[in-house]
Chains A and B, each alone.
Chain A
Amino acid sequence: MNDIELKKIINIAVEAGKIMLTNGAETYRVEETVKRMAESRLNTEVNVFVIPTGMIFSAEPDGILITKLYRVNPSGIDLESIDRTNEFARQFSSTDMSLDEAESKLLELVSPPNFTKLTRFFFSGMAGGFFVLLFGGTLSEFILSYVASSFTILLWDNLTSKNMNFFIKNILGGFLASLLCFIGISIGKWIGVEASFNMVIIGPLMTLVPGVSLTNGIRDLISGELLAGSAKIMEALFIAIALAFGAGMVLQFVLAWI
């Protein structure tokens, strides 16, 4: 095995791990994937250490010590990416896929197919709206929440594409979510429909609140990934603080108006 091949193998394994990590896969899955991919080709023991914001890879093939540190920026949950990368990792480690072929497949993985904007717009409203019904809301609250959640996710996707600091982004998200609810309720009041603010805001906020990353963080802690778990819980905490900041600004007006 020459130097170039060695570098390629490590690159492919780590890039696949990075795609999984940025799209919200569990820590143990990323570690296992990278380890399995690299070990299947390198015939040596590989150590991988993963935290939500980075990855350290170390191996000693043919007596040369290779250690690499990669910085990763997590960007929400994308299950399609995780699924495809997992599939790719299985193929890479179980078949004799050539390295060039693997590299070209990896390039496809970077941008997986996504739902169209219209589908996302329609179904994110569904996610928020039906939550209100689960918590015992009325029909008018359901409709208001549906519309507010749809627009929140639409605006949220626009904010995400701007590559903004996550704290500021979440402050804006919370602000927009509650502003939309406030506008909706004001219009409703004008027509003559009663809706409680605390009920309507469940929908748009549920689509933004980091419940899954909190649960995943605790799951990591339970399975012994102490550092990754604490990092995820801290992230969830700060996202929640940012959302509350944003929503709090609007709530001041709401308390005065309604």
Chain B
Amino acid sequence: MNIFLQGLYSFFCVVGFSIIFNLPRKLIFIASINGMFGWMLYAFLQSSGTSFIVPAFIGSIFVGLVGEFLASVQKHPATLFIIPGIIPFVPGYGIYYTMYHIVSQDFETAMTTGAESLFIAISIACGIVLATSLFRIIRPFTEKFCVFTPKKNNTI
């Protein structure tokens, strides 16, 4: 499928979830753009034939880094950008399917789907933790060369 069409779909998807999670109004657009690029990267890696773990890992590193950067520029917690951003790759459907197979007594398929969704969740979590620690190293440089003007009134 066309990668830009996928990007458009994921943009609206993240907008919807931002409203469900009650994200502050003025951050919705920027968080959705973050999620959109994250998913486009994910879709691109997936179409290039890597395994199911790598796209989620790289995608969440991207979302995490951009989220941390936006957080330092906009002075809001990074979670506000990261949680809506990772929504498209979160294995919600996988979790549901695992339980569905268990309920319908198909334990072998349940094991496969369950392990797959667990590893996707692990790779997303790893990606975000890695992005957060990477950003701690990069942060001094971004602050030095930052072209945006951060709000000064609410820094610690």
Closest-by-CB residue of A relative to B20 is: A124
B129 near A212: Cβ-Cβ < 8 Å = no
**In the complex, chain B residues whose CB is within 8 Å of the CB of A241:** 99, 102
A90-B154, A126-B13 given as contacts; is B23 within 8 A of A80 (CB)?
Answer: yes
Question: Secondary structure of the B side of the interface?
Answer: helix
Contact: B15 with A126, CB < 8 Å? yes
Could you say which of B1, B9, B15 contacts A123, with CB atoms under 8 Å apart?
A: B15
Contact with B along A201-242 (1 / 0, CB 8 A): 010011101111011101101110000000000001000110
Q: How far is the CA of A109 from the CA of B22 in the complex (A)?
A: 14
Distance in Å: Cβ of B45 to nearest Cβ of chain A: 15
Question: A58 within 8 Å of B by Cβ?
Answer: no
Kindly report which residue of chain B lies nearest to residue A239, judged by CB atoms: B95
**Contact of B156 with A94 in the complex, beta carbons under 8 Å:** yes
> Chain A residues with Cβ under 8 A from B77's Cβ?
25, 29, 82-83, 86
Q: Does A195 contact B (CB under 8 A)?
A: no
- A130-B1 CB under 8 A given contacts A79-B79, A79-B80, A202-B93: no
Give CA–CA (A80, B156) in the complex, Å.
Answer: 20
Q: Which residues of B contact A112 (CB under 8 A)?
A: 22
Which one, A206, A219, A247, contacts B93 given CB within 8 A? A206
A128 touches B16 (CB 8 A): yes
A29–B83 contact, CB under 8 A?
A: no
Encode contact with A along B1-15: 1 for CB under 8 Å, 0 otherwise. 100001001101101
Instruction: Please give me the residue from chain B that is nearest to A248 by CB atom.
Output: B103
Partner of A210, one of B15, B79, B95, B124: B95
Q: Is the interface of A mostly helix, strand, loop or mixed?
A: helix
User: Scoring A residues 73 to 104 as 1 if CB is less than 8 Å from chain B, else 0, what string do you get?
Assistant: 00001111111001100110110000000000
Q: Which of B47-55, B84-92, B136-144 contacts A (4 or more CB under 8 A)?
A: B84-92
Q: Which residue of A25, A26, A120, A247 contacts B20 across the interface (Cβ within 8 Å)?
A: A120
Query: Is A167 an interface position by the 8 A CB rule?
Result: no
CB neighbours of A240 from chain B (8 A): 95-96, 98-99
Q: Decide: A77 and B83 in contact? CB cutoff 8 A.
A: yes
Pick the most buried of A79, A94, A223: most chain B CB atoms within 10 A of its CB: A79
State which residues 48-88 of A face B: CB under 8 Å: 77-83, 86-87
Q: Which of B58-101 contact A (CB under 8 A)?
A: 76-77, 79-80, 83-84, 86-88, 90-93, 95-96, 98-100
| Contact call B93/A90, Cβ cutoff below 8 A | no
A245 at the interface (CB under 8 A from B): yes
Q: List 17 A-B contacts (CB under 8 A).
A: A77-B21, A80-B22, A81-B22, A83-B24, A125-B16, A126-B15, A127-B15, A130-B12, A205-B96, A211-B92, A212-B86, A214-B91, A214-B117, A215-B121, A219-B125, A244-B96, A244-B100
Given contacts A123-B19, A134-B6, 8 further A-B contacts (CB under 8 A): A25-B79, A77-B22, A112-B22, A134-B88, A209-B96, A218-B122, A243-B99, A244-B99
